[in-house]
Amino acid sequence: MIKIKKIGVFTSGGDAPGMNAAIRAVVRTGINNDIEVIGILQGYSGMIKGDFVKMETSSVSNIIQRGGTILKTARSEKFFTIEGRQQAFQNLKNVGIDALVAIGGDGTFTGAEIFSKEFDFPIIGMPGTIDNDLYGSDYTIGFDTALNTVVEAADKIRDTAYSHNRLFIIEVMGRDAGFIALQSGIAVGAEDILIPESKTYIDSLLSKLRHDWRKNKTSGIIIVAEGDDSGGAFEVAKVINEKCPDFKTRITILGHVQRGGSPSCLDRVLASTLGYHAVKALLKGNHGVMVGRVNNKVVFTPFEKATKLHQEINKPLLEMARVLSL
């Protein structure tokens, strides 16, 4: 076991509210344990370029409430080449970085797994993604804030839908996972929720809408995950307009607004907890794992599992949503 004297921390992939709280926890826990902490700007891209900055306690003051990431983030195709990784390793070695804390999603951890095995380099991952699809943690950093952003927006849209007797189709993020769509849909009382994990039957959706309108319902909301097999909000609206032209449909694509904003209390506490335990685990010789929280306990999941397995959608929750929308 090597004695760790200097830790590098970086954020990679899509940004998520709470990443700054995670950086803060890593920096302050490291310094408290007499470890020097180096911030790596723009993820793996910055690692290849040698874009490093020394972090002090003051470097992370007044950031816990900020969205985005002060270290910036990027995706790097070059890191997935042996030449790119060799350059990154040499840069880390040149400044004396002994271990890394990687904050991101499955792409980040795929790179971390390859790099750690290739160079026998200690890395611990922290789940930072609004999608909540990583195996090994009940919640990922940023998911709760994204949910609240969707709920706030959908509540406002519900007001105008009611005022104008309209059916709004709201598309949320979730190319491969429907966690945001499912939980926000339940929270706003959506008339239907369309997610990638469950096949969408458009005829059944149309039948339900006709039934609702026969009961004198004059407005409604459908939440659609961008990766749903129906093709997204525009395709759903197109079918509804063709087969039920009497419905006044409108489309709202929430897009990247879901990634921004001040993190919720839950995300700040989760990020702080995982950042603290990531550093403590490295100091104990634990690495090649993602730190998460399952059933309110901190757990460590090997990168291999975290990247190859995916958190399963709660199918009973989807059934409950359908019952409550009647």
Q: What is the mean pLDDT of residues 204-231?
A: 88
Residue 150 pLDDT greater than 60, yes or no: yes
Residue 128 pLDDT greater than 60, yes or no: yes
129 and 11 in a common domain = yes
Give which of 1, 99, 91, 6 is closest to 45, Cα–Cα. 91
CATH code where residue 179 lies: 3.40.50.460
> Which residue among the candidates 15, 106, 131, 228 is catalytic per the annotation?
131
> Which structural domain range is residue 158 located in?
146-259
Q: What is the mean pLDDT of residues 97-118?
A: 95
Residue 105 pLDDT greater than 90, yes or no: yes
pLDDT for 75: 85
Dihedrals phi, psi of 39, to nearest 5 degrees: -85, 135
Residue 318 pLDDT greater than 90, yes or no: no
Q: Is residue 55 part of a domain?
A: yes
Distance separating alpha carbons of residues 228 and 63, to the nearest angstrom = 35
DSSP 8-class letter at 190: -
Task: Quote the mean pLDDT of the chain.
Answer: 94
Q: Which of 50-64, 239-253, 272-286 has the lowest mean pLDDT?
A: 239-253
Q: What is the mean pLDDT of residues 251-275?
A: 97
Question: Would you call 131 a catalytic residue per the annotation?
Answer: yes
249 and 179 in a common domain = yes
The model scores a pTM over 0.85: yes
150 and 108 in a common domain = no
Number of domains in the chain: 2
pLDDT for 2: 66
For the stretch 154-213, pLDDT in tens is 999 999 999 999 999 999 999 889 999 999 999 999 999 999 998 888 888 888 888 888
238 and 159 in a common domain = yes
SS3 content of the chain, % helix, strand, coil (to 5): 45, 20, 35
pLDDT for 1: 55
Q: Is residue 320 part of a domain?
A: no
CATH code where residue 118 lies: 3.40.50.450
